[in-house]
Chain A
């Protein structure tokens, strides 16, 4: 197969999967489907989510990250106790054991973008760099979605719908 043809194939694959799932990897770490939630006008913060798999045999740790579109990124843990939502900074980041996958998802761990310089609009995307203790830095791209499923109204309950 000629190289140009491979490039075309690769580009085609990227385009067809960009809307649903996309993956980035470096070293032993694989980042799956980084996405950020659409934000309200002039929202001072934004929530972003992804899953991280450690395919290696040593533990790794997500330490934080940066993006050109916000002043910084923090790793937070949201918990609900007795109906009260509490958000705490994870100053040491999030550990990923060998072979383990951690999920940053609504209602749990999330990345918080502090001071985004724009409103996050559905369908747009933005670049970011994540930092890992062992695997170093990984350049990724967040897609912007309204919900975890990406649909306008989907909130998880529609996944199993039958016609």
Chain B
């Protein structure tokens, strides 16, 4: 049982770290948060992960090196926040046009048990084709969550079946794999667009 207790501790630690970060990010404009977290090194977001696309292609932090990317966690049995985020990103990417080609958008399922490659593949046809669904084994999924200091937990429902508690924010990652900030779907649209444009410019800076 010692292992379980350690795991619980680790999960709570992750929740506090992320919660603390969100508190900070709510109080400061984005640019300040970027500087603060980089300087202090407290936000432990960004690290190794390795997952598969529905088509079976492996995507990991190495293969993404040199390109900025966006990561968010969800699952297809999620009726509210996940489709909202996916449709919202689809609309934002349409507004950005070719700028949205400059970064990768990754939707990582926290429910690989029900989100089979076939289920994900069909699900994703409704969104911008540049959004890539990623899925891993239970261990790979856990490692990915750890790398982003993100949280997911299976919760049984009284009516049978289960739901997933999960970190809902959108992680914005630099071309070097470092963390640059969160995007909250409740922010004004113009703020979200500016964050994405900023991310796109990072790609151009690297290439130029």
Contact A40 B79 (CB under 8 A): no
Contact B166 A85 (CB under 8 A): yes
Choice from B80, B165, B166 contacting A107 with Cβ under 8 Å: B80
Contact A85 B189 (CB under 8 A): no
B40 at the interface (CB under 8 A from A): no
Q: Mark A114-157, 1 if CB is under 8 A from B, else 0.
A: 00000100000000000000000000000000110000110101
CB-defined contacts of B123 to chain A, threshold 8 Å: 40-43
Contact B124 A40 (CB under 8 A): yes
Contact B87 A38 (CB under 8 A): yes
Knowing A40-B86, A40-B123, A78-B81, the reply to whether A83 touches B91 (Cβ < 8 A) is no
- Distance, CA A38 to CA B91, complexed state (A): 14
Residues of chain B at interface, number, CB under 8 A: 43
Residues of chain A at interface, number, CB under 8 A: 39
Contact A76 B79 (CB under 8 A): yes
| Nearest A-chain residue to B184, judged by Cβ | A83
Q: Mark B98-114, 1 if CB is under 8 A from A, else 0.
A: 00000000000000001
9 extra interchain contacts, Cβ-Cβ under 8 A, other than A40-B76, A40-B83, A87-B165? A39-B83, A45-B78, A47-B83, A82-B19, A83-B22, A84-B165, A87-B79, A89-B158, A155-B88
